[in-house]
């Protein structure tokens, strides 16, 4: 599949990694639909880039189904899903105010892990109806995991659990959907320049970047988007988790 032929749904596409993916796809001739809770920002980005926007809480199944159906109709098709929506969910198991609440943990799981699954199954059901290309391919599902799936830090118990879950379901999904010519791949980014990190002082950004062996800097969202393109265009990339982290291995803190 070529990037210029993509009809993509990008969750969390109003900012950060998701926005970079939308911009990259459209700049190369593809089409994209943004799914995000940030309605004002999402509509502004959609207008700027030439995408469509659909308000969606990925943790709510009815909203996912409605938004992806609307995106499919607007683009007259769907062959790529990029799951970028998520929340940080920082918190200790035994914090200063007491043990972590079950509700907090459940919220992080609902958005990051269940949200990815809901989008996957809804998009895959539509992709299954696509006419196959010469390779027999009908679509691609891309997950955003994290290096926290492997080296979760103190305070990341909920976040790491969700990212490890995303990693764990990548291969089973790829194996199951192979029968329909639909691939599934996860990207596990390291420390990237997202809106949250952009708000930190420059010296803090530099300190974080210096922890990366090479290149000794924060990852750039466009690098994530370029990896999305490679996954789209290389059919044998399937059932895999790709670390995009400059060889960093996170310390406990």
Residues annotated as catalytic (active site), given as ranges: 159
Query: Which residues make beta-bridge pairs with 11?
Result: 35, 83
Are the CB atoms for 81 and 119 separated by under 8 Å? Answer: yes
3-class SS letters over the chain: CCHHHCEEEEECCCCHHHHHHHHHHHHCCCEEEEEECCHHHHHHHHHHHCCEEEECCCCCHHHHHHHHHHHHHHHCCCCEEEECCCCCCCECCEECCEECCHHHHHHHHHHHHHHHHHHHHHHHHHHCCCCCCCCCCCEEEEEECCHHHCCCCCCEHHHHHHHHHHHHHHHHHHHHHHHHCEEEEEEEECCECCHHHHCCCHHHHHHHHHCCCCCCCCECHHHHHHHHHHHHHCCCCCCCEEEECCCCCCCCC
């Amino acid at each position: 599949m070529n990037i210029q032929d993509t009809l993509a749904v990008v969750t969390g596409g109003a900012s950060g990694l998701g926005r970079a993916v939308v911009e990259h796809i459209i700049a190369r001739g593809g089409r994209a639909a943004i799914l995000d809770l940030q309605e004002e920002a999402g509509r502004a980005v959609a207008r700027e880039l030439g995408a469509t926007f659909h308000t969606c809480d990925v943790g709510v199944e009815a909203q996912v189904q409605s938004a992806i159906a609307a995106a499919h109709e607007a683009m007259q098709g769907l062959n790529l899903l990029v799951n970028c929506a998520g929340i940080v969910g920082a918190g200790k198991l035994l914090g200063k105010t007491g043990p972590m609440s079950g509700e907090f943990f459940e919220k992080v799981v609902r958005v990051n892990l269940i949200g990815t699954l809901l989008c996957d199954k809804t998009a895959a059901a539509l992709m299954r109806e696509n006419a196959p290309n010469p390779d027999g391919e009908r679509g691609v599902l891309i997950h955003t995991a994290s290096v926290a799936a492997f080296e979760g830090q103190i305070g990341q118990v909920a976040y790491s659990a969700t990212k490890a879950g995303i990693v764990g379901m990548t291969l089973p999904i790829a194996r199951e959907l192979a029968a329909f010519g639909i691939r599934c791949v996860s990207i596990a980014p390291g420390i990237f320049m997202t809106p949250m990190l952009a708000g930190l002082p420059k010296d803090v950004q530099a300190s974080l970047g210096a922890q990366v062996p090479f290149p000794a800097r924060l990852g750039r969202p466009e690098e994530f988007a370029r990896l999305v393109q490679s996954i789209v265009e290389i059919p044998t990339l399937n059932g895999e988790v790709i670390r995009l982290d400059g060889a960093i291995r996170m310390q406990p803190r």
